Every structure is written in C-alpha cells, then in structure tokens.
Amino acid sequence: MVSKNQLQEQVTKARASDQKKRNFQQSFELVLKLKDIDVKKTDLNINEVVFLPNKLSEQAKVCVFAAGDNALRAQRAGADRVIENAELDRLASEKRTAKKLAREYQFFLSDTSLMPKIGRVLGPFLGPKGRMPTPVPPNAPLESMLARYRTAVRVKSRGSLSVAGKVGDESLDDSKVADNAIAVLTQVERKLPNGEKNIQSMLFKKTMGKPVKSKVESLA
C-alpha cells in the first residue's frame, strides 16, 4: 500500500505546479492507471461513491425525492432540493427539465416508495450517469444521510483502464488531500480483481497545474 507520506509528497508537487492566483478554487484530481486487466473478460465499470474524511469547500449537491414527513425533514436538514410526488409526475412530461436535473445534482436520495416511479420517469436520465437515487427506508436517519452525502465524491472509470475522482481543493492542506486520496484508493482497490497489484501508476492534477505522475511500484 502506498504510504500517506508518499501521497502527500505528490500532492505538494501538484500544488506547486500552478502558483498563479486564480479567481476560483482549484481542485485536486486523482487518476489511477490500471494494468493486467483483460477488459474483454472483466466488466470494469467503476462508479463508486466515496465518502471523504475531509470535506471539500464546495460540498456535493444532494436532491431528495420524498413525501409527507420525509419531505419536511429533508427541507429542514437543508437538502439542496426536495421533489415531492406531484412534481415528480410533472417531470414525466418535461424531458428537458429532467435532463437538467440529472446534471445539476451529484447525488440523489429517495423514499423507497417512490423508487419505482423514479425508475420510470427519470431512469433514462439518471441511469446512464450512474446517479439513480439511494433508497431511504422508513425511519432511516435522513439527516445524517444527507450530511454524509455532502462529503462524497463519485469515482468513475475513464476509458478502459483508468479511474478518476476529485480528492481535494486548495482549501485543504496537503495532509488532508492525501487522506482523501487514501479513501479513494482503498475503495477502488476493492473493485479490482487483484487489488493494488492492478494499479500501474497514479497521477495528481491541480485544475490548472501540470500532472504529477508516479509509478506505484516506485512508491511502494
């Protein structure tokens, strides 16, 4: 396993790759290049939700499909948007709005009772993006689920043999970005046939900076 100190060194280099003051908060992205996987035999479709130990300055936007008391609880908990049954019915005939919805929010939660309707109405828009809602059972701790998803990022396959995800931004120190990277690495390794052995190299990139690449073997 790559050590935290080794990851932190890579983050430090990535941060230094662009010192120009920008009018926006730059992000850090981790890209993992994979090896020794036969994509013809292995369906490597990674689309993982990773809950980061250290929050980003811009937290994930979460939309909740809910009815009755759960809708009120979601609103009080500060959900970015709450969609109730009547609005969900209207979305069935508003495809442009439905497409925009699928783009606008990173994560979706839903009452279990509404999941079949969401599948019919929004499945064609949320499904291809891997953003179908997480079911919220009756009496589930909706407030804590919302808070947790605000800390989450989505880590996805990029091409046939690479995986990428956001692990930090300039507001976090290098140690905290490294901790987030460890969380992503750990979860991706669980999805690979041979775990860490399937990772050939990793690359840290600041939004406007130069990529900092290292072979995993050289860091082990």
Q: Which CATH number characterizes residue 142's domain?
A: 3.40.50.790
Residues 156 and 49 in one domain: yes
Tell whether 86 and 158 lie within a shared domain. Answer: no
Strands 152-157 and 162-169: antiparallel
> pLDDT > 90: what percent of the chain?
81
- Nearest-angstrom CA–CA distance, 49 and 165: 10
* Domain identity same for 130 and 70: yes
Q: Which domain holds residue 214?
A: 4-57+151-219
Q: Where does a domain end: 111, 128, 149?
A: 149
- What is the total residue count of the chain? 220
- At 218, the pLDDT band (50, 70, 90 cuts) reads very low
Q: What's the pLDDT at 123?
A: 96
CATH of the domain at 183: 3.30.190.20
Same domain as 132, residue 80: yes
**Structural domains in the chain (count):** 2
Residues 92 and 138 reside in one and the same domain? yes
**Residue at a domain's end among 149, 169, 184:** 149
Is residue 219 over pLDDT 70? no
Query: Which of 87, 118, 149 corresponds to the end of one domain?
Result: 149
- The predicted-structure confidence for 56-96, as pLDDT tens digits, reads as follows 999 999 999 999 999 999 999 999 999 999 999 999 999 99
Residue 138 sits in the same domain as residue 194 = no
Task: Calculate the CA 111 to chain-centre distance.
Answer: 21
Same domain, residue pair 83 and 143? yes
List CB contacts of 78: < 8 A, sequence separation 6 or more.
146
Question: Nearest-CA neighbor of 210 among 28, 17, 11?
Answer: 17
Which residue, 135, 95, 129, is CA-closest to 115? Answer: 135
**Do 29 and 135 share a structural domain?**
no
Question: Which has more pLDDT, 214 or 15?
Answer: 15
Question: Are 81 and 121 in a shared domain?
Answer: yes
Distance of CA 126 to the CA centre of its chain: 15
C-alpha span between 74 and 83 (Å, rounded) = 10
41 and 100, same domain (yes or no): no
Same domain, 86 and 144: yes
Give the pLDDT band of residue 1 (cuts 50, 70, 90).
Answer: low
Quick one: pLDDT at residue 217?
56
Q: Does 19 lie in the same domain as 32?
A: yes
